[in-house]
Amino acid sequence: MAPEGRAKSYLRSAFLNIYNLSLLGGALVASAATGEYVLGAAAVGLEAVWLLFGPDFKPFRRAVDKADREEREKADRARVDKLMESLPERDWQRAKALDELRREIERDMQQNPSFQAILLQSELDKLSQLHQSFVHLANACARAETYLSALDPRELERQLKAQEAITQKMTDPQVRELAQKNIDVIRKRQTTITEIENFLARARGQMNLIENSVRLLRDQALTMTSPNQLGEQLDDLLTGVEALQASTKETEAIFSGTAGIAPISPISSEQVSAGPSGSRVRG
């Protein structure tokens, strides 16, 4: 039995079906135009019978499922294509080659007479999901690399040492407090950089694993005897991708949370040596 939400989807599709609306509307219009209200009552009765039993017909459900799947695939493809437009050339070529491998595997599996179409489709959907995940990871890697390329860890370390020197040499409590706040922010930025670098290494490794695994599946496609053989390998890959996608969300949150932090301009060593004198400090 279908879940409640899915049952409602079948019922809605049964009512909003273009043929159903056309027949029902035509019958009601004809009834109103001719005054034959028995015709209208019969149309409403038949509509009730259709809505009661129609959504449970397996052929109807398969047609609805196919239409829903095609709509989702179209929306997913549009999102993936948009993401691919922003990829660096090398990653774009890799994503394109992976999609071509996916299509070749689908073709070979569909031509295998020992596979049932219904069972095969769910495994092919996983293959499409894997390609989408690859593109999402490539996009996240590109963002991470762009973010890291704009940073200079050595400059952050220099700033950190300058602020630490202030806390040791200055006697003004407010100056020491501000220096400590700067130290806290710089250390948070250093932690952020490390987290992004770790994510980048994991994401690149997962992308390589996806490519190598799909190539292996391509080699094995013609000799598989069951869609389950394909599904088991894809499930393992998707499990790893899903775990990494959680890190992707965390990394995107890091981008959002730190993108607005401007580099800290530390007090120079000359200013530290000057101490709390009357000399002016440049802003």
Average pLDDT, the chain: 76
Of 65, 84, 103, which one is at a domain's C-terminal end? 84
Burial class of residue 194, CB neighbours in 10 A (0-12, 13-18, 19+): exposed
Residue 283 maps to a domain: no
Q: How many domains does the chain have?
A: 2
Residue 208 maps to a domain: yes
Q: Which domain holds residue 8?
A: 1-84
pLDDT, one tens digit per residue, over 168-205 is: 999 999 999 999 999 999 999 999 899 899 999 999 99
In this predicted structure, what is the pLDDT of residue 164?
94
Q: Are 129 and 230 contained in the same domain?
A: yes
Q: What is the mean pLDDT of residues 248-255?
A: 62
Give pairs for 84-89: CB < 8 Å, separation 24+.
84/135, 86/139, 86/142, 87/135, 87/138, 87/139, 87/142, 88/142
CA-closest candidate to residue 151, choices 22, 259, 269: 259
Of 84, 109, 141, which one is at a domain's C-terminal end? 84
Of 84, 99, 122, which one is at a domain's C-terminal end? 84
Residue type, 214: V
Residue 14 maps to a domain: yes
pLDDT, one tens digit per residue, over 77-111 is: 788 888 888 899 999 999 999 999 988 888 877 77
Q: Are 62 and 146 contained in the same domain?
A: no
Provide the pLDDT confidence category of residue 276 given band limits of 50, 70 and 90. Answer: very low
pLDDT, one tens digit per residue, over 22-42 is: 776 777 777 777 877 777 787
Q: Which residues of 11-40 are buried (b: 16+ CB within 10 A; e: fewer)?
A: eebbeebeebeeebeebeeebeeeeeeebb
pLDDT, one tens digit per residue, over 130-165 is: 888 899 999 999 999 998 998 899 999 999 999 999
Q: Are 206 and 103 contained in the same domain?
A: yes
